[in-house]
A and B are shown apart, each in its own frame.
Chain A
Amino acid sequence: MIVDVLTWLQQPGLSHFLIVSAIVFALGLYAILTRKNAIMVLMGIELILNAANINFLAFSRYSTHSLDGHIVALFVIILAAAEVAIGLAIVLNIVQNFNTANVDEIDRLKE
């Protein structure tokens, strides 16, 4: 059994990366659903984007053998940076207006 696992670990292929990516994705989703602080939610979103990135790179290395995946990964990095910059700026503004970054406490707009 252990030998099997060790040999599996020693021969990294597509499935290894997909599993890592799925774990990162799940962690991101978990952070988004459970964290109350807006910055933590943004971190969860980063994890999801990075999970997608791992997928793109793994597929382009092991299954499609094209450069498309690498290029998409570059763009996703930029996208994540832009999103997080705007997100943090908005959180900064929220903290100035509400004096908290807790998503649950920011609920003026409810019927």
Chain B
Amino acid sequence: MLTEFGKIFIFFLLGIGLVAAGLVTAWLLRPARPYPEKRATYECGEEPIGSPWVRLNVRFYIIALIFLIFDVEVVFLFPWALVYRNLGLFGLFEMVVFLGILFVGYAYVWAKGDLSWDKPTPQIPTLHSRVHFSEGDLQTPSEQRR
């Protein structure tokens, strides 16, 4: 007598078995002749430059955190939606209050600019030197002649 979980368990075993069988057969049959070009990372035919472990912009991280919070709160909406008919107007009001408090947080995040993407601000190079320059020192010879 198989329960539903028993069936899932058999599927599970079958899945593992099939994948393993495929891999093992391929491993037994395939020739193994590696050379550097073959082992290189495939990047559309280009030669790979640098490490693939680049640092992502920290902005992604912050947006993800904010998303995480507002995303998970949806968990409360599902059970509420299921019994919405029984709760009536009171239930609606309660959820409005709940979402209202959430939106206060959202408004704060928005107003503080945590949702806006960093725009690169071009930095104009300036010269910080203790040596005192007079106006003429910084001109090129051709400019001086003029």
Contact = CB atoms under 8 A, between A and B. Distances in A.
Chain A partners chain B? yes
Interface of A: 9-12, 71, 74, 77-78, 81-82, 84-85, 88-89, 92
A12 B3 contact: yes
Given A82-B69, A89-B65, 15 more contacts: A9-B6, A9-B9, A10-B1, A10-B5, A12-B5, A74-B75, A77-B72, A78-B72, A78-B75, A78-B76, A81-B71, A85-B68, A85-B69, A88-B61, A92-B61
Interface of B: 1-3, 5-6, 9, 58, 61-62, 65, 68-69, 71-73, 75-76, 79
Q: For A9, A10, A84, which residue has the most chain B Cβ atoms within 10 angstroms? A: A10
Contacts of A81: 68-69, 71-72
A38 to B, nearest CB: 14
Contact of B65 (A71, A77, A88): A88
A71 B61 CA distance: 30
Contacts of A77: 72, 75
Contacts of B68: 81, 84-85
Contacts of B79: 71, 74
B108 to A, nearest CB: 14
20 contacts: A9-B5, A9-B9, A10-B1, A10-B2, A10-B5, A10-B9, A12-B3, A71-B79, A74-B75, A74-B76, A77-B75, A78-B72, A78-B76, A81-B68, A81-B69, A84-B68, A85-B69, A88-B61, A89-B65, A92-B58
Contacts of B76: 74, 78
Contacts of B6: 9-11
Contacts of B65: 85, 88-89
Contacts of A85: 65, 68-69
A9 B5 CA distance: 8
Nearest to A71: B79
